[in-house]
Amino acid sequence: MTSEVKQKARLAQEAAAVMNRLTTEQKNAALLQMADALVSGSEEIIAANALDLERGREQGTSPSLLDRLALNVDRIGGIAEGLRQIVSLPDPVGAVLEQFERPNGLRIEKVSVPLGVIGIVYEARPNVTVDAAGLCLKTGNSVVLRGGSAALESNRKIIELLRAALAGSDMPVEALQLIEDSDRASVNEMLKLNGLLDVIIPRGGASLIRNVVENATVPVIETGAGICHTYVDAGAQYDMAADIAFNAKVQRPSVCNSMETLILHEAFAERHLAQLAQRFIDANVELRGCEQTRALVAAAKPVTDEDFATEYNDYILNIRIVADLDEALAHIRKFSTKHSECIVTEDAGHAERFTQEVDAAAVYHNASTRFTDGFEFGYGAEIGISTQKLHARGPMGLPALTSTKFKVYGNGQIRG
């Protein structure tokens, strides 16, 4: 018997051949119908979501996770608005990226094409269901979604509404698939579907991403995990450094571009750490520091290498004091997940070395790492932030969901 995963992936692949031929207008019309369907189906979605929330409460799910899961009219309106914003983004598919003629008369075009079938593996945030579907479909891809079981009722209802909307459009209904099997085996089956899935994009926490990276034979775009550092150099201005560091940690600790470790030059630390630490303590941030830090900040607990290697996504901050830029660079080389890294300095040479030498998707001089984001970069909605170096790096907008094809036109050329 064919499994649900394989069966739906096959349907998605067949639909991909049709998706590939749709015009931008046809795709946009379908996305707008999807947005309308979410709004007019809000009550049904909220009823399904209530079942997920009830099960979550019974199972003792934490309030913050329940909050991520919860949908209401406003949130659904926001999700639908996200789809309309995707409509307004330029369609990268069909663009002629290169065009040239060879001496033998061959005319070669390199054109942008959809990737084909994209698998998305994610956790319990039902907004991802809609965002990911919208971005994949806009770029002419079929999509196979596998969300967390905690949001299954919500996702089912959302997909039912979206597929009904597609049935009234030029877009094939089968281009949008939801895997409902909540057993982990269904994820692992997706990861090996070479020939049916062209790429898998994981969206979620570190353990979800690790499982995908370690087990997938389908190509993966790794996203998300961010152990981000801010290094404050010797002569940095206190106010700027403190504001950037505070923003990077506290403005939204739960996201991947927030700071986990603050590295201070010892000259800066001696003058300013006591004051800066107090600002974090007042915001209920737990501090963990190296020996030198603890000599200056009594409240700091000792920090371990394991702490330095942990993405807290929480009100916890590691602090390390270093003798110079080289020591800071070495620390970052050792612990960075190559997401976003920042130097605060007035020294142009140090800024140049840092931005050149630090190996990360985004390197900042005198600005908060929190800006690594598709909207903040002006690219619009993103499918995630790539922390790998192949295909796409940093915020991934629509072009990251395309591939290319060479079209070669001849009149009988053969190779000599």
Contacting residues toward a copy of itself, per CB under 8 A: 17, 20-21, 100, 102, 106, 108, 113, 115-116, 194, 198-199, 213-214, 217, 219-222, 239-240, 243-244, 246-247, 251, 333, 351, 355-357, 359-368, 370-372, 376-378, 388-391, 393-394, 403-415
CB of 111 to a copy of itself, least distance (A): 9
Smaller CB distance to a copy of itself: residue 156 or 279? 279
Smaller CB distance to a copy of itself: residue 157 or 370? 370
State which amino acid sits at residue 104.
N
CB of 30 to a copy of itself, least distance (A): 20
Give the whole-angstrom CA distance, residue 145 versus residue 128.
9
CB of 49 to a copy of itself, least distance (A): 29
Instruction: Dig out the tokens for 75 from the structure.
Output: 């949130």
Among 128, 172, 166, smallest CA distance to 147 is for: 128
In terms of DSSP H, where are the helices of 20-125?
24-40, 42-58, 63-69, 73-88
Smaller CB distance to a copy of itself: residue 271 or 334? 334
Smaller CB distance to a copy of itself: residue 243 or 266? 243
Give me the half-sphere count of Cα atoms (radius 13 Å) on the Cβ side of residue 363.
18
Cβ neighbours for 195, distance < 8 A, ≥ 6 positions apart: none
Cβ neighbours for 282, distance < 8 A, ≥ 6 positions apart: none
Smaller CB distance to a copy of itself: residue 182 or 413? 413
CB of 368 to a copy of itself, least distance (A): 5
Give me the half-sphere count of Cα atoms (radius 13 Å) on the Cβ side of residue 69.
27
Give me the half-sphere count of Cα atoms (radius 13 Å) on the Cβ side of residue 324.
2
Smaller CB distance to a copy of itself: residue 137 or 363? 363
Bridge partners (DSSP) of residue 143 are 118, 176
Smaller CB distance to a copy of itself: residue 184 or 210? 210
CB of 393 to a copy of itself, least distance (A): 5
CB of 391 to a copy of itself, least distance (A): 4
SS (H, E, C) 276-315: HHHHHHHCCCEEEECHHHHHHCCCCEECCHHHHCCCCCCC
Give the whole-angstrom CA distance, residue 8 versus residue 80.
25
CB of 148 to a copy of itself, least distance (A): 23
CB of 354 to a copy of itself, least distance (A): 10
Smaller CB distance to a copy of itself: residue 209 or 287? 209
Q: Could you tell me whether strands 117-122 and 199-203 are parallel, antiparallel, or unpaired per DSSP bridges?
A: parallel
